[in-house]
Amino acid sequence: MGRATPWALALGQMALLVLLGPLVTGVIQKLKARLQCRRGAGILQPYRDLTKLLRKGTVQADTAGSFFRAVPVLVLASTCAAAALVPVLFAPPAAGSASPLPLGDAILLLGWLALGRFLTAVGALDAGGAFGGMGASREMTVATLVEPVLMLVVFSVSVVAGTTDLGAIAGHLSLRRGSFGAPDILALFAMLVLLLAETGRIPVDNPDTHLELTMLHEGMLLEHSGPGLFCLVLAHHTKQIVVMALVQALFLPWIPASTAPFALALGLGAFAARTLVLAIFLALVESSYAKLRFFRLPQFLGIGFLSAFLAVALRLL
Amino acid sequence: MSPELATRLIDALGALLLFTMILILAAGQLYRAIYAVAAQSVLIALAGAVLGATTHNLDLWIVAGITLLVKAIALPWLLLRVIRRVGIRREIEPVVPITATLAIAGGIVVLAFHLSSSLGAVRQAITGNALPVGIALTLMGVLVMMSRREALTQMVGLFASENGIFFTAMAVSQGMPLIIEIGVVLDVILGALVMGVMVLRVRSSVDADIAELDRLRG
Amino acid sequence: MTTLLWILPLVPVAFGLAMLGVRDRRLFHALDLASASATGVLVVIVARTVMRDGSLRAAGVFAADAVTVVFLGLIALLGLATAIYTIGWMRREVAGGDIEERRLPAYFALVQAFLATMLVTVLADNLGVLWIAMEGTTITSALLVGFRRDRYGLEAAWKYIIVTTIGISFGLFGTVLVYAATAHALGGAAAGAMNFTTIAAMAHRLDPGIVRIGFIFVIVGYGTKAGLAPMHMWLPDAHSQAPSPVSALLSGALIKCALFGIIRFHTIARGACGPAFSGRLLLLFGLVSVVVATPFILTQRDLKRLLGYHSVEHVGIVALGLGIGGPVGTYAAFLHVLNHGVTKALVFFVAGDALGRYGSRDMGRIRGFLRAAPFAGTFLMLGAFSLAGTPPFSIFVSELLVLRAGIAAGRYVTVAIFLAMVVVIFAGLIHHAGKMAFGEPDEAVRRGGEAPSGVLAMGLLAAVMLLLGLTVPPGLDRILTRAAEVTLGS
């Protein structure tokens, strides 16, 4: 039972998340289709879409600069970096000294995600299209509402663990599983609201549409094509699974504390099961709610904000 | 059920109650607020059952049952029926912006927890965090009533407020005397009926929503 | 004797139920008067018993002590006066088509139910019963406030029921907290942990912190119902829109019942947290009420709204008396409860007459009232002088006592503000009343033809008002002194 997380394991976890990301999207799409009494595309459809994009050439707007080309790669890179920081299969037991290689700091994780978001928005502005600009401005508005709440949620949990190291938090929580107090419940609800916003799902954004009035994320991708679009779409899938893994690490931390192959397999199974639960949650919400008007969003995200705030307050009082 | 487990369950229910209250505060549509308050009443009934199982007090079970029947089923049904009869506008238009209301609500909860943590040994007379959550729910219910104009939303706020009182009352050592709780519930029903009748009457005799009545000033 | 306490609130209930089947208008009034007289007789018996034995208790639900007797007497007296006044008033309303004949059973039954809930409120020993009855008064009187079913009436009724119900929920929360404190002190939920007599007897053992929070909830909650500023928003609306006899009951009796609730918790809080805490809160709310009401009284054009704001001021004075405390201040508060109840009911009767004559509550259009209705006009002037605090009327006496207590307690700032406001209100009120009473009424205004019943009811109240101004009868004096002692917990 090693204290340190081997580099290989961290990279393996990252690769796993990047590879599984499209699958999760596919599963959600399939669930949604079923809930709406459609047959829907197969769960591997996102992979097919991605490979299709790789085969296509790139078309670039005349107004776009050379930076525009670099954006997709940078976004994918920052998202992958974020993916390396979440504990998925393994969480070091929190007892005593910090591990030589910290699995990941929560604030750093949020920083990587924010960087990805920022780069996407900048890229959209760089292309000079009207939709891109609108999408970017809306995305950043949502970001200002979402990111502080995300911070609050992380704080509310890290107050207990006494660290912002995600691995340590998950490990600490694994030790005292079952004691799920009032602040945890509120923080979990806040996190679920955020999950909808961060994955660009229905009350906040509509992932299935290119209708100009409703799109946030899609608007920013409009000017991209070919391999560039491949990077951005893959980054989006990855971000989704990373946020889901973050929810699990903070609130459903049944993560093995050993690197034995059997434990790792168990961890993978548990991760799959929990992710499926979250996917079902997303599909249910998407099927039963309508997208909110943009100016109603602060109100919706306010639910998350207040819940997270109360979670922190209850912890401290 | 052991007292420790009961305390933990009450704490958890308290958190869920606060969350339903947040949903009511943030609800942009009337029927959502009504569903939220119904869910809240179910939680109150659950709390009654938990406390009943802990203290082996039959009264609490009865109160839980009454709460479930009256506040989780009958009153929300009444509200939905009035909506259908009157055809009120379903979007809630607050006097105070909802985001501001949410901010005030945050302050209220912090204040409630601060107040109750300032108390001494007497806190043991009330299980878990039922006291601060009860205070917070009551005040937030009043906040809903003050920040909205629609008659039915105000009624939702009233029910939420009373849920808070019930939560605390049930958690006081053995709960209040049964006859008092029943009397309170009866008053709530009667009050709700009178209010419902008034909403319908305003619609039929003045042809307006109560929210539009604002001539009495000064 | 204890069964008497059960019978007392049942009298109006029984008469109210009987009225539902009646169709003849004269029979209504007969039943109304019979109910009021029966209540009056029972109240007198209760009062005598209480003064002989100290207190009366019935099975932990009802109890009567001197404080109860003060409020019981007020409710019984106003119930009787209103029953008499309603005879003439109702004839005119029905003739004028303002109230349909077929809705009379509902009106009379509701008034009886309203009286019954008020009686239960002041008789309650169990604080839960007190709350239930108080909410009952809201429900019954809200229906009466909105009885005319027009736009304004419904608006006032809605505002009334919503605002007071919010307030009352605060009251319930306060009750729950005090109950929690008692249960804690008793080491478990024992029988009688909600009874005022039990709690008051062991008040010094209660946890001061939680009682403090509880009292804040109660004073805000029941204070809403009592019309203390700044929770008074419903009061002018409801008082102005209700039918005039109901206005008299609302202002004369109902808001006093809410004060009764505050007084009960004041006693408990004094025992648990010492006299300073609850007294200071009452002082604060009382002063705010007096100050807030003043500008509205000066600029008011609507006669009944004027009286409504005036009630806010006087409830504030009662709170001041209680807040200043001591035997004198508390005695003055109880005396003021009686004086204001009687006087305000009288003036609302006059307002009902004026409303019928001029068809308007606008004081700018009421002219030459003395010519048009010599009796009612005289009573208007008497009532106005009394309300403004002129000797030899009763309110002067109680206000003077409050002042004396304030000076004796060294609360000079409070006394100064109070005096200034009373002087300003005096000027405003006499100005308004003078403009209404003197001058020549319009040709269209009906002259004379005052209903004998109305004059009788007003005369009865005016006589009480004058009597209390000249002297406090020894029997009443003993009751008030004892009530002050009970409130102060000695």
pLDDT tens per residue, range C386-405: 999 888 899 999 999 999 99
| C56 sits in which H/E element | strand C56-58
Q: Measured between alpha carbons, how far is B170 from B69 in angstroms, rounded to an integer?
A: 17
Interface mutation vs chain B, best among A297, A312, A317, most B CBs within 10 Å: A317
Distance from CA of B1 to the nearest CA of C (A): 19
Alpha helices (runs of H) in C359-447, residue ranges in sequence order: 369-372, 374-388, 394-408, 412-437
Structural domain boundaries of chain A?
7-316
Say if residue A40's pLDDT is above 50.
yes
Confidence of residue A157 (pLDDT cuts 50, 70, 90): confident
Report how many Cβ contacts below 8 Å link chain A to chain B.
62
Backbone angles phi, psi at B29, to 5 degrees: -130, 145
Q: Which domain holds residue C279?
A: 2-488
Report the pLDDT averaged over residues B109-134: 86
Structure letter (DSSP) for residue B212: G
Q: C70 and C482 in contact (C-beta within 8 Å)?
A: no
- Please give the tally of structural domains in chain C: 1
pLDDT at C193: 84
How far is CA A7 from each of CA A1, A106, A266, C21, C483, rounded to the nearest angstrom? Answer: 15, 18, 20, 90, 83
pLDDT at A3: 43
A22 CB-side CA count, 13 A: 18
Decide: residue C238, CB within 10 A, 0-12 exposed, 13-18 middle, 19+ buried: buried
Q: Across-strand partners of B94?
A: B148
For residue B116, what is the nearest residue in chain A, using CA coordinates? A317
Confidence of residue A92 (pLDDT cuts 50, 70, 90): low
Which of B180, B191, B216 lies nearest to residue C194, judging by beta carbons? B180
Residue type at C233 in one-letter notation: M
pLDDT at B83: 85
Tokens of B89: 């506008």
pLDDT at C322: 95
pLDDT at A11: 84
- Do C132 and B162 count as a contact with CB atoms less than 8 A apart? no
Say if residue A96's pLDDT is above 50.
no
Q: How many CB atoms lie within 10 A of CB A124?
A: 27
Say if residue A2's pLDDT is above 60.
no
pLDDT at C128: 92
Q: Measured between alpha carbons, how far is C285 from C270 in angstroms, rounded to an integer?
A: 17
DSSP A122-187: HHHHHHT-HHHHHHHHHHHHHHHHHHHHHHHHHHHHHHHHT--BHHHHHHHHHHTTT---HHHHHH
Kindly tell me the sign of the dihedral angle through the C-alpha atoms of A47, A52, A57, A61.
negative
Which of B138, B177, B186 lies nearest to residue C128, judging by beta carbons? B177
pLDDT at A214: 62
pLDDT in tens, A236-245: 999 999 999 9
Q: A269 and A113 in contact (C-beta within 8 Å)?
A: no
pTM: 0.89
| C63 sits in which H/E element | strand C62-64
How far is CA C151 from each of CA A93, B78, C93, C163, C241, rounded to the nearest angstrom? Answer: 70, 24, 18, 18, 10
* Region at A245 (left for phi over 0; alpha for psi -120 to 50; beta for the rest): alpha
Distance from CA of B163 to the nearest CA of A (A): 18
pLDDT in tens, B208-218: 777 777 777 76
Say if residue A228's pLDDT is above 60.
yes
Say if residue A298's pLDDT is above 50.
yes
Confidence of residue A210 (pLDDT cuts 50, 70, 90): low
Give contacts of B184 with chain C, Cβ < 8 Å: 128, 131-132, 135, 172
The predicted complex's ipTM stands at: 0.92
pLDDT at A216: 79
Kindly tell me the sign of the dihedral angle through the C-alpha atoms of C364, C368, C369, C373.
negative
Q: Across-strand partners of B188?
A: none
Give contacts of A314 with chain B, Cβ < 8 Å: 15, 113
Q: How many CB atoms lie within 10 A of CB A140?
A: 15
Report the pLDDT averaged over residues B123-152: 88
Report the pLDDT averaged over residues B55-78: 91
| C62 sits in which H/E element | strand C62-64
pLDDT at C47: 94
Q: How many CB atoms lie within 10 A of CB B95?
A: 10
Chain B interface includes A181 (CB < 8 A): yes
Say if residue B174's pLDDT is above 60.
yes
Backbone angles phi, psi at B2, to 5 degrees: -75, 150
Report the pLDDT averaged over residues B120-137: 86
Q: Measured between alpha carbons, how far is C89 from C345 in angstroms, rounded to an integer?
A: 14
For residue B11, what is the nearest residue in chain A, using CA coordinates? A182
Tokens of C189: 């939920």
Report the pLDDT averaged over residues B179-187: 87
Say if residue A97's pLDDT is above 60.
no
Report the pLDDT averaged over residues B72-85: 89
Which of B12, B23, B99 lies nearest to residue A182, judging by beta carbons? B12
Q: Measured between alpha carbons, how far is C73 from B120 in angstroms, rounded to an integer?
A: 42
Say if residue B122's pLDDT is above 50.
yes
pLDDT at B90: 65
For residue C305, what is the nearest residue in chain B, using CA coordinates? B218
Q: C490 and C201 in contact (C-beta within 8 Å)?
A: no
Give contacts of B109 with chain A, Cβ < 8 Å: 310, 313
Give contacts of A306 with chain B, Cβ < 8 Å: 22, 25-26, 102, 105-106
Out of A165-174, A245-254, B98-107, B175-184, least confident range: A165-174
Say if residue A212's pLDDT is above 90.
no
- Do A182 and B11 count as a contact with CB atoms less than 8 A apart? yes
Interior CA angle at A50 toward A49 and A51, to 5°?
95
Closest CA to C280 of C249, C319, C242, C314: C319
Say if residue B39's pLDDT is above 70.
yes
Which position has the token pair 């999950």? Answer: A195
Low-confidence ranges of chain C (pLDDT < 50): none
Q: A61 and A223 in contact (C-beta within 8 Å)?
A: yes
Q: How many CB atoms lie within 10 A of CB B87?
A: 8
* Residues contacting C338, CB < 8 A, separation 6+: C70, C73, C74, C394, C468
Chain B interface includes A317 (CB < 8 A): yes
pLDDT at B24: 93
Say if residue A94's pLDDT is above 70.
no
Q: Measured between alpha carbons, how far is C17 from C11 in angstroms, rounded to an integer?
A: 10
- The total number of residues written for chain B in this structure: 218
DSSP A64-76: --THHHHHHHHHH
Report the pLDDT averaged over residues A150-158: 90
For chain C, the farthest-separated pair of C-alpha atoms sits apart, in whole angstroms, at: 74
Confidence of residue A46 (pLDDT cuts 50, 70, 90): very high
Q: Measured between alpha carbons, how far is B88 from C179 in angstroms, rounded to an integer?
A: 41
Closest CA to C394 of C450, C435, C339, C448: C339
Q: Across-strand partners of B172?
A: B126
pLDDT in tens, A23-35: 999 999 999 999 9
Task: Please tell me whether residue C64 adopts helix, strand or coil conformation.
Answer: strand
Interior CA angle at A290 toward A285 and A291, to 5°?
100
| C58 sits in which H/E element | strand C56-58
* Residues contacting B117, CB < 8 A, separation 6+: A317, B132
- Do A310 and B106 count as a contact with CB atoms less than 8 A apart? yes
Tokens of C280: 């200071």
Confidence of residue A93 (pLDDT cuts 50, 70, 90): low
Q: C260 and C67 in contact (C-beta within 8 Å)?
A: yes
Confidence of residue A98 (pLDDT cuts 50, 70, 90): very low
Tokens of A72: 């997709």
pLDDT in tens, A99-124: 545 567 888 899 999 999 999 999 88
Chains A and C contact (Cβ–Cβ under 8 Å for 3 or more pairs): no
Long-range contacts of C272-277 (CB under 8 A, 24+ apart): C272/C181, C272/C203, C272/C204, C272/C206, C272/C207, C272/C208, C272/C211, C272/C212, C273/C208, C273/C211, C273/C212, C273/C215, C274/C208, C275/C325, C275/C488, C277/C212, C277/C215
Tokens of A140: 């950043």
- Do C169 and B194 count as a contact with CB atoms less than 8 A apart? no
pLDDT at A6: 62
Report the pLDDT averaged over residues A136-143: 89
Which chains form contacts with chain A, at 3 or more CB pairs under 8 Å? Answer: B
Give contacts of A180 with chain B, Cβ < 8 Å: 12
Tokens of C243: 């039918």
Interior CA angle at A263 toward A259 and A267, to 5°?
105
A264-278 CB burial, b ≥16 within 10 A, e <16: bebbeebbeebbeeb
Which of B12, B15, B98 lies nearest to residue A302, judging by beta carbons? B98
Tokens of A156: 């509310």
End-to-end CA distance of chain C: 25
| C57 sits in which H/E element | strand C56-58
Task: Please tell me whether residue C126 adopts helix, strand or coil conformation.
Answer: strand
- Do C154 and B215 count as a contact with CB atoms less than 8 A apart? no
